[in-house]
Structure 1
Amino acid sequence: MKNIFSLIILLAGIGFFYACEDNDNIVLQQPESFVLNTPKYASGIYDLQHTETIEFTTSQPDYGFTAATLYAVEISLSQNFAEYATLAGSYSTAKFDISAQDVAVALVALHEVEEESNYPVDPHPLYVRLSATISGSKVSPVYSNVITLPQVLGYFALEAMTMPEEMYIIGNVAGNWDWNSSTEMIPVWGSPGKFWAMQYLGQTGDGGNAEIKFNYAKEWNGNEFGYNDVTIGEGSDGISGNDDNNITIGNPGWYIVVVTTAIEGRGYTFSVDFLPPYVYLQGDVNGGHWGTTDEAYRFAIPDLSLGADAEFVSPAFTAATAADGGIRASIQLPGHEWWHTEFMVFDGVFIPRGAGGDQDRVAGTVGQRLSINFTNRTGNIE
């Protein structure tokens, strides 16, 4: 038995010795380059408008060990890569396909053309290289050799239009024409490009009507839009335009302002609705009524004389609710579920659900009320 135990100790020691030697041999090397292979059909014409993908194969850079390598594709119109574009995405295998459309979009920028009539109509050489990095490390990128695709036929490809992710209201009573004080609208859940805001549109201090514009960026950049640029929804009484293309509110008051975006060609179209400022308690705290628009569960609308810095106050809760049920509140937009536009107050801060996931729950007791200042985005439960 003693001999067997000694043999086990000896073998364990030998294994530890070799493990140490192996660890000592793992030294990160910084390779100078690696090989990007020329595609098999490189001599043919790559017609990007009628090609889905282009296949590339490569060898892994010699880091001294097998590393989790990420490859990015760079293209240029010159062999020295004086100017180049990096295509979107990265690849973790030595064989991968890139999108021909991504190449075509990048080529439009490299050719520096703004109109389709100026885009080259003949095939031309395209130069390609890879950059390699080790996933999760700070190791400097390594660049492959440059290969040539002699005949690449591009086209005037533009990036796909996407819906705006933000929207702002500015005006004489909405930020005083200062984008830093403008109203940030709230995304409607499940409806990209659609936004809402509870907005005070009373008269100005000198008795003038409220005037507003919109933009999906928080700045004067030429994309702001007003009365002549939108479709005003039916039932929006008293709405008109003026010489500055502002939307003028003929009937002062609080409104739920809704902007709905659509993509048309290479641009956006907008419709704007001005809805009554109705806010509702939902669910457990009103006795289990969900999706309600019953006036009994409607928040009191503040008097206009209080101005924008006023609170909407709910009816008293008629039932207690534990944190798992929670106080729930929302506005109600036509064609939407109530929870698409719900919100809650957390530690005195108004937080809408927006396009995000389900919110945490807040417990309430009988007789409490929920108050919300939509202008300052604050509130309380008491």
Structure 2
Amino acid sequence: MDNSRLWTKNFIIDSTANFFIYLVYYTLTVIIAIYAMDELHTSPGAAGFASGIFILTALFSRIFTGKTIEQIGQKKILFIGLAIYFLATFLYFSADNIVLLLLIRSLHGIGFGISATATGTIIANIIPSARRGEGIGYYAMSVTLASAIGPFLGIYMNQHISFTAIFTSCAVVLAISLIAALLLKVNNMPSVSVPAQVKKEKFNLHSFIEFNALPIAIIGGLLGFFYSSIISFLASYTREINLINAGSTFFIVYSIVILLSRPITGRLFDKKGANFVMYPSFLVFAIGMVFLSYAHTNFMLLLAGGLLGFGFGTFMSSGQAIAIALTPRNHMGLATSTFFSLTDGGVGIGPLFLGLLVPYVGFRGLYEIMAVGTIFTMYLYYLLHGRKKTASSL
């Protein structure tokens, strides 16, 4: 048996399931606020909260899943998460007021958080250690494709079919994920059985946070915070600068660049070490923010999209690889949840704070601040991880 083989049946199945999990997330993200305002007649603020509460509950479920997955098992946790995610989709049919919608969105976020953490942990155990950077880079393409296709599908379906049909389509997609998960063959992590004395322990941060992965997770939280400025305000920004057409294809260019670059950066990560790809990812992301802040033409806006795609996409796959490499094998689930919990947290809380800045600095000023913040984060990466000897050999 070739232990260095990457494209196994399990690798393909897990990546496909992850693609569908994120496809539903991105598809609903772009239409849920519209649904709340048009169908439930809520205020824009309440509609925005209905969208954001999904991320917050997903964040908390990731934290708890990272620990639980070691005790219950990876495949079983994946089924639990997918079942919650799938069943919650049907509840949207009965959402006739904002309170009920918030409860459904919260439950949906929990299912998403559990499912996404499980697929990320499973893939970490499937990928050969010698090809970790390359493998996670390919796996992360499932999220990249979903981030490009999902918003497009959401907007397109919102224009042509009913909300009921949209929710039904999402349920069908998640049903396919459940079927795909049945075909997975996953070996449990070494320490699935938990000693009795450990079970009796009271609340302990080590049960929910993998401290070896915390430094790179903090960096991920900051970069996610900066990235949220793009997700939240790009549509308004492109409308303000009269580049709406280019704005509609921004994320397509963003995703294409990630798809083309990840196989290369993944191999470089494995051969040259983390720092070789991490420092350029910060620099390119910062430059992309500068280009975005000064965009006056379609070309400049789309160029910014490509640069930002390379920078953030490279960081996400490499950051996850670093978190896993620094962690004992039996804590991979905890490392995965720690990294994505902080990164998702940054994306989730970013709009709440950055929205307060826009009236004072404008969109262009906001993206300039994000560029400066990225350079600061690159220095913080050096302090927390980059200067260590292990950083060049991961």
Q: Which has the higher contact order (CA 8 A, sep 6+)?
A: 2
Q: Same fold (TM over 0.5)?
A: no
Task: Output the TM-score relative to the length of structure 1.
Answer: 0.19
Task: Output the TM-score relative to the length of structure 2.
Answer: 0.19
More strand by percentage: 1
